[in-house]
Structures are given as structure tokens and as C-alpha cells.
Structure 1
Amino acid sequence: MQLYQKNELKIYNSLSGKKEVFKPINEGYVGMYVCGPTVYSNVHLGNVRTFMSFDMIYRYLKHLGYKVRYVRNITDAGHLENDADEGEDRIAKKARLEQLEPMEVVQRYTVDFHNILNKFNFLPPSIEPTATGHIIEQIEIIKDIINNGFAYEVNGSVYFDVLKFNESDHYGELSGRKIEDLIHNTRETAGQTDKKNPQDFALWKKAEPQHIMRWPSPWSDGFPGWHLECTAMSTKYLGEHFDIHGGGMDLKFPHHECEIAQNKAAKGTSPVNYWMHANMLTLNGKKMAKSTGNNILPNEIFSGDNNILSKAFSPTVARFFILQAHYRSILDFSNDALLASEKGFNRLMEAISFLDQLPTGDQSDLNVQEWIDSCYQAMNDDFNTPILIAQLFEAVRHINLIKEGKEQITAEDLKLFKERINAFTFDILGLQDIAETGDDQSDKLSGVVDLLINLRAEARANKDFATSDKIRDELAALGVQLKDGKDGTTFTVN
């Protein structure tokens, strides 16, 4: 018997606005699609949080014994600025600014995306399709939508007719929006484009003469609409009707709303049973934004080369921090929060490392099966990783009591206890033991540099500026830059 047959998993479905018992279309099999990155810049931490949420979900589904086909796409064309139907392609714009071929931009940032996710210990998806690799499929879907009367062509571009679709269905069912409100909010833009109505969205855009990325179609040389790409790739690999579609909260409208409408208009069926959305990440209580400088990239966390954190943090500590919040909760990223997570992570790893040395007795004061059940209850309740982590710290408490001789555990229970702690910590949460991966070298370096910073502070207090400057200069020669501030001295490694 597989674990999924003994565990009733509940998932919060954005479509119904409530938790529902998960029942896959085909027993034992799960099809899951997650909207991947548009590869025109380094992947930012907010994106990482979304992909980490679905990596954890993928891991848990596999742990339960499901055979999962996980599809996560790469958007390498068609995503215009401001998520709109007008303007410049994000990748083409980057290529123009950096004087590169668009596919050089795609390659550079796809490699960066994979490198960052590898550092965070992500499992690769089953399939990672690209938008440019599925132009034919997108053209065929557009033909179906036109033939069914829900799209129109004008001047070489094709638009989805939202009002026509809404006559027989409900455009806005996922986001809870009403077509009347959408009309009211967009009326002032009417007449500025070829669209019949401002609410309509592009399925195919005729390329302007300067537009580099273009493909032939029955309507014009052009490029597909951003929303259409995910409809084509998800249904090609998972079928017209599949189990789970995920992404960031910001994609619920219009991107995912448009996906539902396109699928219904082309195939007559709603594509997905369970829509899942991960919430946003803030930085020091404010929205992350490059324009304001309130932003940090993953590599800046790992190197410590930033003005936000007091030190470098390993990828697995950052992963632990992110998973301490529920995937549907807003999470605030800060130096204090990461420091606290690092302490907690080290406590957990220290306890796990001691499992092999625990003495065994004639009885168990800890009900191991009850503890295991509580861990599954947490994960079965819409993947509640904060509760699971709380249960892991309950295990740490018992490990320390057994270690101190204040509790006992039998050899049989200890074997089961160790097996499940490792499964929940490493297989499901995807954490890594720093001591085993070698990442503890950064912690050792931090300790040595902190010692030198303290010695330098003593020298300065004693007005021994020659020694103070020598420490600073020799560290700089080794690539360690000291930064003196009102809250003390921090360092970065170049």
C-alpha cells in the first residue's frame, strides 16, 4: 500500500477559495504545471520562493508514492513589458541594451536560473519546455479558438474576445472579478488599439519591423501572446484536463484567468482541478523592487556582498527560512529573521547528527508513531511546513532529553524515528546538512573574520591604529572587505 492511500491530503484551491481533499484524475498519478521564469534577468528571491514552494509540494507528492509529471516552463519570447499586449519584448529589450542576440540573453539567464535552483537543492522538473519550442502548438490552439467564435483577427494580430466568451461562460472565475467592473475600469482606454474591447487580450501579435523575435503564422509574421504559451505547453504534456496548476499570486489575474478562458474556448473544458498560488516575499517590511534598491539576489545572500545582511548565509539556511512560513503567507525577509533561522537550523542539524549515538533502553517515553502522524497531519493540511518544522523541533527536544538520560527510547523506535526525521528534513523539506555538503567552510570563515574584527576593535580602543590598519589591509588583500558602521563592523568576501 502506498502512503497516499493512507493519507488524506487537502489542498487550498484558489478556484473554490477553500481546502479540498486531493483526488487526482488518475489514481496514483499527478500532473502538475508551474509557470516558470521569463529569462531576461537574474532570478530574484520572490521567484525562488514560488518555485521552492512547488519543489516542496513535488517532493511531498513523490514521498507519498505518486508518480508525478512536473512541468515547469521557460518563457523565452512573447512576454512584453508590464505584462501588457503592447510594448517591447522583455528579452528583445535586454538583447538590444546589451547588444546581444535574444537567444544569448535566454541562454545566460536560463543557466543562472538553473544554477541558483541547484544551490537551493531543487529537484529538476520532469519536463522543462520553452515557449519558442512550441510555436506550432500555439498556432493550432489559436485556430481552434477562432473556429469556435471566441477570437478575431485584425491587421495581422489575433485577440481573444472576452465579452463574447463571457456570454456563455464566466471570465473572472479564478480571480473573483466581474466583467462589469473590468469594463468600468478600462473604458477610458477604448479606441487606442485594434482590439474590439480593452479587456480583450492578444493570442498572436503581428511583429513591427523592428521586432527581432518573429515566426510565420496564417495571420502574419509575429509572436504568440504570453498567456497562450502556458496553455499550449501545459496541455501538450499533461492533457486538456490535469490535476494541479501553480504559480505566484501575481499570476492569478490576468495570466491564469486567461489560461482558463483559452482552454475552455479551444477545447470546451476547464483545464485544471486545483489552482495553487504562492504568496509574495517582502524585504524589511517593504515590497522588493530593483528601482528602489529594496532588493537582494540569491548570490548576494550566499556571498554576503550586500548592504542588507550582516553576513553571508548558506543556501540551505535561506531555504529553511523560507519554508518556516506557509507558502500562502506573505513572508518578510530580514537580517534578524535569517540569523534566527540559522540558529534554529544549526540546532536541528546538531540533533540529527547525534541520532546514531543515542543510547537505547527497554522502553520508549516518546510515542514515535504519534509524532510521525503529527508530521503527516501538518503536510496533509495544505503542505503546512511551519507546523512540520515545529514538530521537528519537538523531536529535537526529545533527542536532547534522551541524550541527557532523562528519557528512553527502544532500538526499534529509534530506527523508525531516525528514518522519518531524515525523510521529513531532507527528502520533503529538501534541506542539506552543511557539514556533509562542505558549506560549513563559510561558517568557519565567518568565525575567523569575526575574531579578527574583535582584535581590531580592541586595537582601536587602545589607540593602536597601526595594528588596526594592518588587520584591515591584510584582510582586504585576501578579498575580505571590512565595513565600519554605526552598528559595528561587518564584512563581505569578494
Structure 2
Amino acid sequence: MMQKLILYNSLTNKKELFKPVKEGYVGMYVCGPTVYSNVHLGNVRTFMSFDMIFRYFLHLGYKVRYVRNITDAGHLTDDSQEDKISKKARLEQLEPMEIVQKYTTDFHQILEKFNFLPPSIEPTATGHIMEQIETIQTILNNGLAYEVNGSVYFDVLRYNEKEHYGILSKRNIEDAIENTRVLDGQSDKKNPQDFALWKKAEPEHIQRWNSPWGEGFPGWHLECTVMSTKYLGEEFDIHGGGMDLKFPHHECEIAQAQACNHVNPVRYWLHGNMLTMNGKKMAKSTGNNILPEEIFTGENENISKAFAPSVARFFMMQAHYRSILDFSNDAILAAEKGFNRLMEAVDLSKKLKAGEESTLDIRSWQEKCYEAMNDDFNSPILIANLFEAVRWINLINDGKESLVQSDLDLLNLALNDFVFDILGLENSMDKNDDSRIVDGLVHLLIEMRKVARANKDWALSDKIRDELLAVGVQLKDGKDGTTYSLI
């Protein structure tokens, strides 16, 4: 069921009709994580947006090749010329590949809990060193890079003579020159804005590979150019990532691809917006931060209880992927109420009895749902339409509206498509009856403990808390009451 789909293209800063390179096929590349730490919630939001987009293309009947890489080498830190993975390996006294394995596993486990579909291909930077070396050599041969003391740099000014470095970020080269800060180790460059294609490995650098220019490691920008074009071709449909990657990372990707293949590599650039917390930027240093796992356990002072992964997913789907989204305890509590209302209605809809006539226009409602998704994947408008269906389901259940069987079947099919297949939500109550029983029993004991405390029966109160802890249930007393998490 191919639909007319409109995308907001960051390259042109306007909405455009989606026309794939090859009819019926979609090639999509999304910049994956640099695996040196636990994946944070802002990253999850970006990947979740593209999981929804992936799901929608599949629902429309496209054959999709979705490539999302793993950066396991070459990502320099902001304040030095040290690779993030090598730095973490040195701090934790582990091999770099131990760091990579540890945090790649964490990344996959978190995304699985959020019900992500796996990408078609998940290439790693270290698995494509030879291709990166070949690409560097091609750019050198084309006169758009230079080698100095074992490192190779992209010549931005030379490239800008014929192409536009800044075409995506809408920066001009003069501003780039003026605003480029000088870092240690950049004295080898012809110009400060030139970026590394290959870096010479200093004696203390752990990750290193042989190359025609000596032992070193690839530049971060180069990895994505090589892996995207290897698996999707010199020109492909969609490149996605967070807005923070637009410059310099994605800008450099365009320049490298143009310098190597003489073609603009991507038709549509899609960028997800940032996630804030309590109205401020997330930061570990200030404590204004939360990890996905802490949402599931409730073990973070910024939230009052634990939340199911699908509740957190629903919370994120309530905002458009290009909008800033603010996470707070009140916001996710409200999302949980909305999620539960939606799931209860989905369950109730399956039990509705058909009437003799249809007093509601289900086909028109279904079309509105598609119109929302076809307008740059507008998930909040889709959710608003889903709650219109929730209202209808309750009216039908109360006997105030009715649907014939064929319309009732269409309603249930559409709900399944949009709620589960496209938004990727899971009905946790329906999925695991045992968990509902456990939840009910624990809350019963919490209420008994509350009564005991009110009666100053501290012995019974402590006994309930300690016995639950002994079987892996940890109680957490807060200003809004007592919550629990499984440990």
C-alpha cells in the first residue's frame, strides 16, 4: 500500500515528496552509537524515531535496507586527540574490544526492551578498515586530501573551490574559518577547519592499524561515508541521525562522498531533535540525567516510580521527532495514564459486539491516521487520532454508537497496525499475565504495610519490606507514596 509520503529534508530545509532512488525500495542509513558508555536516553530517542520510520516504510510495503553502524574506533574526544574507546579502555584497564563488547551488548539489550526492530545490517568501523584506507587513497588521488607526518587530512578549502562545504548546515567557509578553535595536535593541518581522514597513532594509543601512511586509525566522519555507500550505493534515499551530528559529522560525510564518488550521496537528510530533562540539558555532572535502565527500575531521584519500556516509548512518540522533548516525572506519569487508556481500549475493542448499522466512519478515521504519518511521520497527530478511536470504542461499549462487523474488523486491524506495528508499542498487560499478578500482590502488600505504619506497627512494616527484599522486590518510599522495583 504505497502512499504519498512527505519528508522534511534538512538539506533543503523544506518538506518534499518522497521519491526513492529505486521504486519500491528504501535505503536508509542512521549513525549508530559510539560504544564507550551506556547508551543514554537522548540517543535512544533518536534511534526510536528511526525505528518508527523503518516500521512505517515496511508497513507501506517497501523493501527496506536499514543500515545502522557501530562506531568502535576512531571517535575522537572533544578536548583531545584521544579516541573515546581507547580513553575508556585506559581508564578501566581493559582491552578496547572489551569496552566495545560491553557497551554494544548494553545497547542491544536496551533497544530490545524498547521493542526495536533490528536493522538490516549493523556494520562496525573496525570491520571496514581496508575500505576506509581505499577511500582515503581515492580522495588523495583526486587531490582533495594531503598527508602530513603519518596523518591524512581532508583539504576543505580546495574542496570548496568547486563544491559547497556547508551545504547541509548552511554555514559558509568564512564563518567556519573564523569559528574554528585550535586544538593541540592540529599544527600539521594546512587550515584549522581541515578534518582527519586518518590519524597517526601515538605510542600510547591502543587501537592502531597498518596503512600506507604508517600505523594509525581512521577518522570518525570517514567511517560512516564508507559504510553507508558500501551497503546502500553511491546515492541512497535517507540518512538519519541527531541534530547534533549535522555539523561537522554529516557535513564531512557529504564532502568525503563528493570527493570520492563525485555525487551527492543522500536524497533526504532527516534529523531528530534533542531530549531535555526538567527543562534543562541532560548532564551527568549536574545529576540532571537518567539512563533507560533507571526508568525501568525507578532507581533515579528524578522519577517517583518505575515505568514499563512501552510507557517510555509512548512518551517519546507523543512528540514529533523534529521537536524538542522534555522528560520529567510529571510528563511520564501523564504518558503512563494515556498509555493505559489506549491499551484498555485496544483490549475492549476486541470484545465489542457488532451492531446492525455503522454510525461512525472508520475508513475516514483510518485515512486521517495515514495522513498524519505521511506528513513527515507526525506521531503526535497519529496518537490524537488513536484517542479519537478510544472515545468511539467506549461509546460503542456503552451502546451509544455502533459498527457493523466489517467496520469493527477494520477498526481492530487499523489499531493493530498503528499501535503495535508502526508505533512499536507493546501491551504489557496483555503480554505477561504473570507480571500483572505479581504487580497486584506487591501492591496489596504495600497497602498492608501502609496500614501497619499508620498504626505504628513498625515491626510488621519492616517485616513486609525485608521479606519482599529477600525475594528480589525493593520498596522505595517517596513523597508520592511507595513504589517498587525488581532487583
TM-score under structure 1 length normalisation: 0.95
Structure 1 residues 212 and 381, CA gap change in structure 2 (3 angstroms): same
- Give the secondary-structure state (helix, strand or coil) at the position aligned to 1:94: helix
Aligned partner letter, 1:230: C
Structure 1 residues 487 and 394, CA gap change in structure 2 (3 angstroms): closer
Alignment of 1:233-312 (within 5 A): 233-312=227-306
Aligned partner letter, 1:345: F
What residue number does 2:14 align with? Answer: 18
Structure 1 residues 378 and 92, CA gap change in structure 2 (3 angstroms): same
Structure 1 residues 276 and 51, CA gap change in structure 2 (3 angstroms): same
Indicate if the aligned counterparts of 2:306 and 2:483 stay in contact, CA closer than 8 A.
no
Indicate if the aligned counterparts of 2:310 and 2:425 stay in contact, CA closer than 8 A.
yes
Aligned partner letter, 2:43: N
Indicate if the aligned counterparts of 1:305 and 1:493 stay in contact, CA closer than 8 A.
no
Q: Does 1:399 align with 2:432?
A: no
- Give the secondary-structure state (helix, strand or coil) at the position aligned to 1:11: strand
Q: Which moved more, 1:54-63 or 1:283-292?
A: 283-292
Tell me how far 1:301 sits from its aligned partner: 1.2
Gaps of 5+ in 2: none
Q: Does 1:193 align with 2:187?
A: yes
Aligned partner letter, 2:366: I
Indicate if the aligned counterparts of 2:304 and 2:480 stay in contact, CA closer than 8 A.
no
Q: Which moved more, 1:180-189 or 1:61-70?
A: 180-189
Tell me how far 1:190 sits from its aligned partner: 9.6
Indicate if the aligned counterparts of 1:304 and 1:311 stay in contact, CA closer than 8 A.
yes
Structure 1 residues 360 and 485, CA gap change in structure 2 (3 angstroms): closer
Tell me how far 1:490 sits from its aligned partner: 4.0
The partner residue of 1:460 within 442, 445, 453 is 453
* Percentage of identical aligned residues: 72
Aligned partner letter, 2:188: D
Measured in 2, the distance between the counterparts of 1:307 and 1:442 equals 25
Tell me how far 1:189 sits from its aligned partner: 5.8
Measured in 1, the distance between the counterparts of 2:417 and 2:362 equals 14
Q: Does 1:419 align with 2:420?
A: no
Tell me how far 1:188 sits from its aligned partner: 5.9
Alignment of 1:33-44 (within 5 A): 33-44=29-40
The partner residue of 2:212 within 209, 213, 218 is 218
Structure 1 residues 446 and 191, CA gap change in structure 2 (3 angstroms): closer
Tell me how far 1:444 sits from its aligned partner: 5.0
Tell me how far 1:390 sits from its aligned partner: 0.7
Equivalent pairs counted in the alignment come to 487
The partner residue of 2:69 within 56, 73, 97 is 73
Indicate if the aligned counterparts of 1:150 and 1:161 stay in contact, CA closer than 8 A.
yes
In the TM superposition, what whole-angstrom CA distance separates every residue of 1:16-74 from its partner, at most 9, and x where no partner exists?
11110000011111110000011111111111111110000001011111111111001
Structure 1 residues 428 and 188, CA gap change in structure 2 (3 angstroms): closer
Gaps of 5+ in 1: none
Indicate if the aligned counterparts of 1:312 and 1:442 stay in contact, CA closer than 8 A.
no
Structure 1 residues 369 and 161, CA gap change in structure 2 (3 angstroms): same
CA RMSD after TM alignment:
1.8
Measured in 2, the distance between the counterparts of 1:247 and 1:187 equals 25
In the TM superposition, what whole-angstrom CA distance separates every residue of 1:257-297 from its partner, at most 9, and x where no partner exists?
00001111111111000000011111222211222222111
- Give the secondary-structure state (helix, strand or coil) at the position aligned to 1:357: coil
Indicate if the aligned counterparts of 1:304 and 1:493 stay in contact, CA closer than 8 A.
no
Indicate if the aligned counterparts of 1:190 and 1:197 stay in contact, CA closer than 8 A.
no
